[in-house]
Amino acid sequence: MRDLDVVGQSYPQIDAMEKAMGKTKFVSDLALPNMLYGRILRSPYAHARIKHIDISKAKSLTGVKAVVAYADTPGIKFGPRTEDWTILASDKVRFCGDEVAAVAAVDEDIAEGALDLIKVEYEELPMVSDPLEAMEPDVPLIHEDKPGNIAFEFKIDVGDVDEAFKNSYVIYEDRYYTNQVYQAYLEPMGAIADVDLSGRITFWVGTQIPNMMRMTYAKAMGVSPDSIRVIVPDYGGAFGAKMENNVHLVAAVLAQKAGYPVKMINTRHDDFIAGNPRVPMYIDIKLGATREGILTGKEVRVVGGAGARVVYAHAIVATACYRADSLYRFKHVRSKGYTVYTNTVPTSCFRGFGNAQMTFVLESALDTIADQLDIDPAELRIKNGIGPDEVSIHGWIINSCGLKDCISKATEAAKWQEKRQLKKPFRGIGISCCNHVSGNRAFAREFDGAGGIVRIGRDGRVTVYAGESDMGQGQKTVFAQIVAERLGVPLNLVHVAIVDTDFSPFGLGSFATRGTLMGGNGVLAAADDAFKQLADVAAEMLEANPNDIECSNEKFFVKGSPERNVPFKDVTEKATFVRYGSPVVGTGFYNPGTELPDAETKYGNISPAYPFACQVAEVEVDPDTGQIKVLNFVAAHDIGRAINPMATEGQIQGGVIQGLGWALMENMVTENGSIANPDFLDYLIPTALDSPNITPILVEPIESSGPYGAKGIGEPALNPAMSAITNAIYNATGIRIKELPVSAEKILKELKKRPK
Amino acid sequence: MKVRINVIVNGEKHHLEVKPNHTLVDVLREELSLTGTKKGCGSGKCGSCTVLMDGRPVNSCLILAPQADGREVVTIEGLAGREPHPLQKAFAEKGAIQCGYCAPGMILTAKALLDVNPNPQEEEIRFAIAGNLCRCTGYSKTVEAIRSCANSSRNNRPSAGRKAYA
Ligand code: FES
Ligand code: FES
C-alpha cells in the first residue's frame, strides 16, 4: 500500500465549522410550511387498565387540528424484534409515560393545553418495577402471554464449568447490580412526519438505524416499507438511544389525521420518562482461577429489566451473557440470561450494549481474584488476555489484537508500578480491560455488511452515500477521508450526504461500533468502482492502460511517471461528456463473511474484527466525606488504524466521561413506578468540573478486514471506565463496589464500619 | 394577549409582539428563525440555549420575552464578523465539536469568559463552562479550544471581540 495522504490525519469534522457557526439544521430546528406541533398524553400510572378515553373536549379547542387515541391508530402489534408494542396504549398502560393519546395543534402551547382536556379513566393495577421481583410467582403479569414476566431466556454452556471450578485454587462469587442510566444526548428525541397524497409517510428523524426503522414502522403503520421514507438530518447525539420509539409513530398518526406535517420533539421530561435508557442488570458471577492466576471457569446469571416492552433488551442481555468471554482465554463458561418485563420505561441500547454491564462485573471480579492470589492485576490480565490470530471460546476469529500493548502502554503512562508500590493512604489506582465488536452478526439478522455509493459530478464534486448516519461521532468525516484517500483527492472535494432511504444504500446503521469498519468498507468499495470508471477515461487521455492509472493530489497519472498527468476535474468532466451527462456513480459493498451464531451453542464468528482496550484510573478518596476524585485517567485503545486520530481521541474522552458519570453520578431513581428525577437538576451528568483530563493512547495494529486497517471505537471507549474507577477505589480503600453508581455516602458508610 | 418588545439581536433592531409567557429562546428560534440557539432542556439546566444579553451569558430559556425588552442580544449567528470568531475556528479545529448541539452555547459562554478574563487558567475555564453540558466530548478538547484562544493576541485585547456590536 502506498503512503496515505488523507487517512490517518486529524482533520476537523467536515461539518464542524457549520456547527460552530450555528448554521447546521438539526432535526428540532426544521420547520415545514403549515407544520403542526404534537404533544403526547402519557400515563401517570405504572400499571393500569384504561376504562375510558374522552377526546371530544380537546378536539374542540381552537387551534387543535387532530387528537388521536388507540382507536385512531392502525391497531397493529409490532416491535423492532418483539411484537409487544402498539402505537398508543390499547387496553392498559404498562409504565409511567406510556403513550395514551396525542394532539397536534398550531402551536406548542395549544397542544399542551389540549392535553389537559383529554379525560382518561384508569383502574390502577398492582405493579412491579424490580426485575428480580417481577420473576417471582404471583406477581402481576405485564404482558399476559409471558409467564413470570420473562420475555426472553438466553443460555450458553461451553466446556465443563463444574469441573473447571473443581480444579480452581480460588473461586470468587458475588452479586452485582448495574443501574439504569440515561443517554442524555443534548438534543431530545423526536421527528417531523408528513404524509403525501399517495399516503406515503416521510419522517425527518435523528436515528441510528434509518432502514431498520423503516421496516419496523411499515409494520406498525400497516403499509409496505416502500411507503415510508426516512430522512436523517444532523442530530444531536444518540449513544444508542435513537432507534425506534413511539414518539415518531405518534407524529405520523397525527399527520395522517390532520393532513399537515407534524413536528413532535420530546420535552426533556418526556425524553427521560419515555426514551429508552440503559437496561439495568442484576449479575451473579462465579469466577475461578488457578494458583498461578490462570482463569479456569466463569459462570454468570444475568437478569435484565426490559421495562414495559422489549426494544432490544433481549439482545443486550445476551451480549452481557457472553461477549466478554472472548476477552480472555476462557475454556469453560456458562451463562443464563433473563430479559424481564417490569412496569418501567422500556430500556434499550446505550453505548456498550450489555458488554458495558458485564465488563464492569468481570473486571471487578478479576481485580478481586488478583488480590486473593496476590498477583498484580495488570499481570493477571496479561496472563489471560487473548492475542492476535487466536480463536476465542465462542469461535470468534481475533485478527488483530493489541490488548497486551494497551495494557503495557496504559500502565506505563499512568505510572502503574510506581503507584501500586508506593501507595499513599486513600489514593488508589485501578485497571480494567475490554473487548468489543465492529459489527454484530448475532444482532443484524438477515445479513451484516454495508454498501456505498460514490457519485462524482462533472465538476469533480464527490458525494458519498452510506447507510450509517452521523450522530455526532464523526462518521461523515471518516467516510470522506476513506473516499478521498481512495480517489486521490483532497478532503474538501468530498461531501457526505445525509442518510435518506430514498437514495442511500440499505445500511443497517450506526450501532455495534460498526460504522467505520462496515460502512467504511462499503464506501471504500464504491470509491474503488468510481475510481475504475474514471481510470478508464484517464487512461484514454494519457494513452495508457487503465490498470496502470493512479491518482494523487487530484491528478491522474501513469504509475511511475507522475510528471505527465491530467487534473482530476478534467477527467470527471470528460467522463460526464462521454456518458452524455450521466455522472460517474460507483457502487460497492462489503461482505464481512461473519457467521450467524449457532442457535444452541452460540458458536460463530460474529464480527470481522474486535477492538480492545485497557484503561487505568487513579482516584483519591476523602476519608471524612467519602468524596471520590478521579485524579488521572489513561485510556489505551486498540482501534486498528485510526482514520482520524483527533476524532478517535474525542470518542475516547467522551466515552470515558460517560463511564465516569455512570460510575460516580448517574442514576435513574424509580419510586412507586415513576422516575423521580427526570431532569438535569436531579439527574446529574458530568460537567466540565466533574471531568478530569483523559489521556488517550492509540494502539494501531493494522486490521486486515478494516478499511485501511481500521476497527471501531464508539463503545469500547466507555466499557472499561466504570471498573477502572471502582478498582481504583478498591485499591484506595479496600471497598469493593458492587452496585453502581458509587456515592460519597456509600463510601462513608463503609468507612465508618471499620475499626478506628 | 401579546406584548410589544424592542430588542437588538445581533446588531439589528426588532420590534416584536410576543406572548408574555414565551421565553427568549422561543422568540429567537421561532419568531426570528435563529435556530443556532438550541434548546436542550427548557429549564435552565443544560446551557445549550446560552446567548449573550448585554454582553453576559444567560440561559435564554429562563428569560421571559418581555425581560428582553430594551436589551441587546448576541446569538451564535451574530458572533462572527466577516470571518468566523477565533473561538468558532478553535472549536472546529481542536475537535471540540462532535454532535455540536452544545457548541453554540458553549462558544458564547467562552466568549463571555474571555471578554472579562482574557487569559483564564484551566480551572477558570472549567468553572465558566460548568453550566454548559456536553455529552459527547468529555470536555478535554473544549477546554483546549478555549485555551488556544486565550493565548492568541486577539483575545488578549478584550475589546476586540466586542467591537462588532459596540
Ligand atoms: S435549554 Fe436553556 S438551559 Fe437547557
Ligand atoms: S458535542 Fe454533542 S453535546 Fe457537545
SS3 A487: helix
Task: Answer yes or no: is pLDDT of B157 > 60.
Answer: no
Q: Is residue A168 part of a domain?
A: no
Q: Ligand 1 mean position to B133 CA, how many Å?
A: 10
Residue A637's pLDDT is 98
Instruction: Give residue B81's pLDDT band: very low, low, confident or very high (50, 70, 90).
Output: confident
Q: Most B CBs within 10 Å: which of A19, A35, A664, as the mutation test of the B interface?
A: A19
Of A474, A657, A688, the CB nearest to B129: A688
Q: Is residue A166 part of a domain?
A: no
Q: Ligand 2 mean position to B112 CA, how many Å?
A: 19
Q: Is residue A429 part of a domain?
A: yes
Residue A50's pLDDT is 98
State the ipTM, two decimals: 0.97
Task: Answer yes or no: is pLDDT of A756 > 90.
Answer: no
- A215-225 residue pLDDT tens: 999 999 999 99
Residue A43 shares a structural domain with residue A121: yes
CA-to-CA dists, residue A419 to A413, A424, B25, angstroms: 11, 8, 50
Q: What is the CATH number of the domain that holds A574?
A: 3.30.365.10
Cα A338 off chain centre by: 21
User: How many distinct structural domains can be found in chain A?
Assistant: 3
Q: Is residue A143 part of a domain?
A: no
Of B94, B107, B140, the CB nearest to A693: B140
- Put simply, the answer to whether A187 touches B127 (Cβ < 8 Å) is no
Q: Is residue A399 part of a domain?
A: yes
A581: containing domain: 16-23+449-590
Distance CA A66, CA A38 (A): 9
Q: Which fold has domain B3-78?
A: Ubiquitin-like (UB roll) (3.10.20)
End-to-end CA distance of chain B: 34
| Grid cell listed for A101 | 393519546
Q: Tell me how close the Cα of A714 comes to any Cα of chain B, in angstroms.
A: 11
Q: Which H/E stretch holds residue A456?
A: strand A450-456
Mean pLDDT of A275-294: 98
Worst-scoring range by mean pLDDT, A97-106, A380-389, A438-447, A483-492? A438-447
Q: Give the A:B interface size as CB pairs under 8 Å.
A: 185
Task: Answer yes or no: is pLDDT of A461 > 70.
Answer: yes
Candidates A712, A584, A698, A671; CA nearest to A46 is A671
Instruction: Give residue A754's pLDDT band: very low, low, confident or very high (50, 70, 90).
Output: confident
Q: Determine contact, residues B18/B31, Cβ cutoff 8 Å.
A: yes
pTM: 0.97
Residue B161's pLDDT is 39
Residue A608 shares a structural domain with residue A571: no
Candidates B93, B99, B52; CA nearest to B71 is B52
SS3 A61: coil
Candidates A401, A357, A431, A375; CA nearest to A131 is A357
- Transcribe A197-248 into DSSP letters: TT--EEEEE--S-HHHHHHHHHHHHTS-GGGEEEEE-B-S--TT--S--HHH
For chain A, give the mean pLDDT. 97
Mean pLDDT of A497-519: 97
User: Which ligand 2 atom minimizes the distance to the CA of B97?
Assistant: 1
- Transcribe A517-564 into DSSP letters: IIIHHHHHHHHHHHHHHHHHHHHHHHTS-GGGEEEETTEEEETTEEEE
Q: Domain ends where: A537, A571, A590?
A: A590
- CB atoms < 10 A from the CB of B158, how many? 13
Residue A488 shares a structural domain with residue A434: no
CA-to-CA dists, residue A294 to A238, A291, A321, A615, A660, angstroms: 39, 7, 21, 21, 30
Decide yes or no: CATH 1.10.150.120 for domain B81-156.
yes
Residue B6's pLDDT is 97
Q: Ligand 1 mean position to B60 CA, how many Å?
A: 7
Q: Most B CBs within 10 Å: which of A13, A110, A186, as the mutation test of the B interface?
A: A186
Q: What is the CATH number of the domain that holds A205?
A: 3.90.1170.50
Worst-scoring range by mean pLDDT, A146-155, A401-410, B127-136, B148-157? B148-157
**A195 beta partners:** A201
Rounded (10°) CA dihedral A513, A184, A414, A368: -80
Residue A508's pLDDT is 96
Q: Tell me how close the Cα of A492 comes to any Cα of chain B, in angstroms.
A: 15
Q: Is residue A141 part of a domain?
A: no
List strand residue ranges (DSSP E) for B10-86, in order: 12-18, 50-53, 56-59, 72-74
Residue A414 shares a structural domain with residue A522: no
Q: What letter represents residue A115's amino acid?
A: L
- A380-414 residue pLDDT tens: 999 999 999 999 999 999 999 999 999 999 999 99
Worst-scoring range by mean pLDDT, A171-175, A196-200, A356-360, B152-156? B152-156
Residues of B in contact with A656 (CB under 8 A): 138
Distance CA A690, CA A659 (A): 12
Judge whether B39 is closer than 8 Å to chain A, CB to CB: yes
Distance CA A204, CA A215 (A): 16
Which residue owns the Cα nearest ligand 1 atom 3?
A: B44
Q: Determine contact, residues A139/A128, Cβ cutoff 8 Å.
A: yes
Residue A40 shares a structural domain with residue A107: yes
Q: Is residue A320 part of a domain?
A: yes
Residue B165's pLDDT is 36
Residue A77 shares a structural domain with residue A214: yes
Residue A233 shares a structural domain with residue A119: yes
Distance CA A466, CA B49 (A): 32
Return residue ranges of chain B for CATH 1.10.150.120. Answer: 81-156
CA-to-CA dists, residue A253 to A66, A87, A231, angstroms: 9, 9, 18
Residue A503 shares a structural domain with residue A518: yes
Q: What letter represents residue A450's amino acid?
A: A
- A583-621 residue pLDDT tens: 999 999 999 999 999 999 999 999 999 999 999 999 999
Return residue ranges of chain B for CATH 3.10.20.30. Answer: 3-78
- Put simply, the answer to whether B80 touches A29 (Cβ < 8 Å) is no
Judge whether A649 is closer than 8 Å to chain B, CB to CB: yes
Residue A171's pLDDT is 98
Contact map slice: B 83-142 vs A, CB within 8 A: 84, 87-89, 91-95, 97-104, 107, 125-127, 129-142
Task: Answer yes or no: is pLDDT of B163 > 50.
Answer: no
Q: Domain ends where: A251, A274, A297?
A: A274
Mean pLDDT of A200-216: 97
Mean pLDDT of A276-288: 98
- A646-700 residue pLDDT tens: 999 999 999 999 999 999 999 999 999 999 999 999 999 999 999 998 999 999 9
Residue B166's pLDDT is 29
Instruction: Give residue A755's pLDDT band: very low, low, confident or very high (50, 70, 90).
Output: confident
Residue A564 shares a structural domain with residue A607: no
Judge whether B146 is closer than 8 Å to chain A, CB to CB: no
CA-to-CA dists, residue A180 to A54, A310, A724, angstroms: 35, 15, 19
Of B89, B132, B138, the CB nearest to A657: B138
The rounded percent of chain A whose pLDDT value lies above 90 is 98
Q: Is residue A109 part of a domain?
A: yes
Q: Determine contact, residues A77/A83, Cβ cutoff 8 Å.
A: yes
- Put simply, the answer to whether B99 touches A29 (Cβ < 8 Å) is no
Residues of B in contact with A19 (CB under 8 A): 92, 97, 99-100, 103
Candidates B135, B161, B159; CA nearest to B146 is B161
Residue A50 shares a structural domain with residue A108: yes
